[in-house]
Structures are given as structure tokens and as C-alpha cells.
Amino acid sequence: MSLSALTAKTLLTPEERIEQPLVLLDGAHIVEVTSRVERNVPVNSRHIDFPAATLAPGFLDIHIHGGAGHDVMERGDDAFPIMQRFLAQHGVTGYLPTTVTAPMKQILETLERIAKQIDHTGRAENSQQLQAQPLGIHIEGPFLSHERRGVHPPEFLQKPTVPLLNRLWEASGGHIKLMTIAPELEGAMEVIGEAVRLGICVSLGHSDAHIGSARSAHSAGARHATHTFNAMRPLNHRDPGILGFVLSEREMTADIIVDGIHVDPEVVDIFFRTKGSDRAVLITDALSAAGMPDGQYRLGSFEFEVRDGRCTAHGTLAGSVLTMDRAVRNVMQFAHIDLQNALRGATSNPAAVIGLANQRGALTPGSIADIVVLDDQQQVVQTIVRGQGI
């Protein structure tokens, strides 16, 4: 056993807080988590100390289209390494490349390309592991509502059918972990049932559904909601709609873009009071413009503009330039919660949504050694991916 020993001021996970922690790593896995009060640093280990910092699980982003000038829909071999290095700089150790509505041929080709990237990452040598890892695929579209499509091109939206879902699944090599769908569409219930059978987490979003359709989708197996409040029928006290169901149904998890643009800070506070920190998931919905200056950019088949941090296409919000470390800091401020509860939304909660709670989202013996090191202002000091980066 070749041990690395990490020490710091504090360790935070969703379940515990350890002062003067000692975390022992053997390669890509955590083998022990304890305190220096209870155990000395092993003499045969490589000791790395972060004396004024906090250790936390690496961030997970289950809805992200791009960053650092690149997006997941583009062709070429350079996009993923550049984007993944950018994500790691902001504490993200794992993510779901998220597709957008496009011509079906382009979506299928993109799924095949992402699947190859995921398979390659699984075989990559240690020297290549300082990038965030793609953990699966999120398909956002083409099964979306015309009324609530946002910037998704209407001409490429599709009626949900089981054969079409199976084409997407096969092109992805079985790597789809999350699918956004509008439950009111004809054929949606059959597709939701098939997706659940395949092991896909079904997320309700880009939807004009009334509460009945949302409730039926939940009964069929849907258990998550995509960028809550955005691209959804608004809440009405006599017609609660899909949003009323998402906020009130305890079994539903839901994600939210906490950039101060997509959702007002006061409403973010309401969201966290309603869903609780154990059911709320932070996402960025970031585009290729994340980490880049204002200007014109592309996502899939359409162009968008970034000005003063706001991404728009033809006047409609089109994703964000948010980073996950900023989302954690924002939610602490907007929802008035402490760092430990804010971390849930970026670690254990998204891990549970995509079925990886036994591997990621926590710092426990046997879990993947994905760790973010934060200073006392919640700025990223260091990111560790599968034990690499130290």
C-alpha cells in the first residue's frame, strides 16, 4: 500500500465535521478518515498539509453544456480536455456533459462522441486525471415543450417515443444517466417508464404541465426536476402546475441555477426552505462562455450573446456562465445556510440523483478520492481527482 495522508484545519461532508482531519488515500480511493487527535500521520505515507483549509467532497455538476470556450456538442478532440481542466479549477471533479436539442443526427453523433470520451477517461493514465471526469450523460431535449422550450430550436423538438429513446440509449453506449422531459407531451409516460427501466433518472423540465401530468409522471418513475422555476409553467395559487408539484412533493429532488440571474435570491431562499438542503441540487447550466469574456458564442446549432454575465439568444436566457464554486458561495448568501448544508447541493445530493452515492459525493472509506480544498472564503485552493493533483 502506497499511502498519501491529507491533513487540514477542517473536514466537511454532508454528514460530519472533523476538526484537524486526517484522510488516508491509497491511489484513487479513500481508505481512512479520522482526526489527528485520534491517529498520527503514518510514517510511511506522503504527507500533504493544508493547515488553514477545509477538505470537502469534490463538486459534481449534473447539468453543464460547456466552459472555457468549448461545449459538448462540438466536434474535435480538444474540447473535453480544455473544458475539464477548467471545471477542475473550480472544484468540479465529476460532471454530466449535457446535450441540447439539435438535428437528430447531430445528437446521436454527439452521444457517440461523449460515450467514447467517458470510456477513454475510464482507461486514462494517472497523468491525465487532473481534469474533471465525465460520469455519464444528461440529455436535455429533444422531448421538450414548445411553449417552454427556452432557446432550444423548435424545429428539432421531437415527440417522445420508446424507439427514439432506445436509439439515443444505444448511441450513448448506455451512458445516459439523466433525461429531461416535459411530461405533458403525448407518449411521455411510456418513455418515462422505459427510461426508468434502463436506469435513467427522469427529470421533469422545459414543461408547461399542469399538476396532474406532473403527478402522473412521478407515478411513472420521474423523480427529479430540471432548473426549477426556469422553463416551467409559473406557480399560480389556483393552478399550481408542475412547479407546485415539484416544490411540494417530498420525494422529488430538484436542481436550481443560483447565479442571481435565473432565479431571484429571495426565491432561492424559498426554494431551499421548501425542498430542504437534502433535496436541493446546485447546477450551473454553464455554456462555452463560462470563464470567457463577454461576446458571441455558440451552443449546438445556435448562437448566443454574453453581456455582464447574462447569456441570451434572441432575448431569452440561454444557460449561464456560473461556476460551481460560485454557486456554493451564492447559495450560502441567498438561502442563509452554512457551508456544510450548501455543500450538499454540490456533492451528496447530485451523486444520489445519478445513482453514484456509493462512490462520490462524500469522504468515506472506499469512496473515490475526489476532494476539493477550500480556504475560509470558500475559494478553491486545490482540486484532487481520483487521488491525483497533490
371 is a domain residue: no
CB 300 within 8 A of CB 355: no
Pairing of strands 224-225, 201-204: parallel
Residue 206 and residue 87 share a domain? yes
82 is a domain residue: yes
**How would residue 2 be classed by pLDDT, with cut points 50, 70 and 90?**
confident
- Among residues 285, 294, 325, 375, the one annotated as catalytic is 285
Residue listed under C-alpha cell 456554493: 328
CB 319 within 8 A of CB 287: yes
End-to-end CA, the chain = 17
pLDDT digits (tens, 9 = 90+) for 74-89: 988 789 999 999 999 9
Pairing of strands 17-19, 3-12: antiparallel
Residue 324 and residue 193 share a domain? yes
Pairwise CA distance, residues 323 & 283, whole Å: 9
Instruction: Count up the domains in the chain and report the number.
Output: 2
CB 106 within 8 A of CB 171: no
Residue 69 and residue 49 share a domain? no
The values of phi and psi at residue 84, to 5°, are: -70, -35
* pLDDT at residue 128, rounded to an integer: 55
Closest to 213 measured CA to CA, from 243, 236, 253, 235: 243
The rounded mean pLDDT for the chain is 95
Q: Does 28 have pLDDT greater than 90? A: yes
Closest to 288 measured CA to CA, from 63, 62, 64, 133: 64
Pairwise CA distance, residues 133 & 121, whole Å: 7
Residue 308 and residue 202 share a domain? yes
Pairwise CA distance, residues 312 & 335, whole Å: 26
Q: What HEC string does 291-307 produce?
A: CCCCEEEEECCEEEEEE
pLDDT digits (tens, 9 = 90+) for 199-256: 999 999 999 999 999 999 999 999 999 999 999 999 999 999 999 999 999 999 999 9
pLDDT digits (tens, 9 = 90+) for 283-324: 999 999 999 999 999 887 778 999 999 999 888 898 999 999
Residue 82 and residue 46 share a domain? no
83 is a domain residue: yes
Examine the residue annotation and report whether 285 is marked as an active-site residue of this protein. Answer: yes
**The CATH number of the domain where 142 resides is what?**
3.20.20.140
pLDDT digits (tens, 9 = 90+) for 31-44: 999 999 999 999 99
% of the chain exceeding 70 in pLDDT = 98
Pairwise CA distance, residues 221 & 219, whole Å: 5
**The CATH number of the domain where 25 resides is what?**
2.30.40.10
With residue 384 as reference, give the H or E element that holds it.
Answer: strand 380-384
Number of neighbouring beta carbons within 10 Å of residue 52: 11
Residue 107 and residue 217 share a domain? yes
Number of neighbouring beta carbons within 10 Å of residue 219: 10
How far is C-alpha 72 from the geometric centre of its chain's CA atoms? 14
Number of neighbouring beta carbons within 10 Å of residue 199: 11
pLDDT digits (tens, 9 = 90+) for 163-191: 999 999 999 999 999 999 999 999 999 99
Q: Which domain holds residue 294?
A: 59-360
Number of neighbouring beta carbons within 10 Å of residue 109: 15
* pLDDT at residue 126, rounded to an integer: 44
Prediction pTM value: 0.96
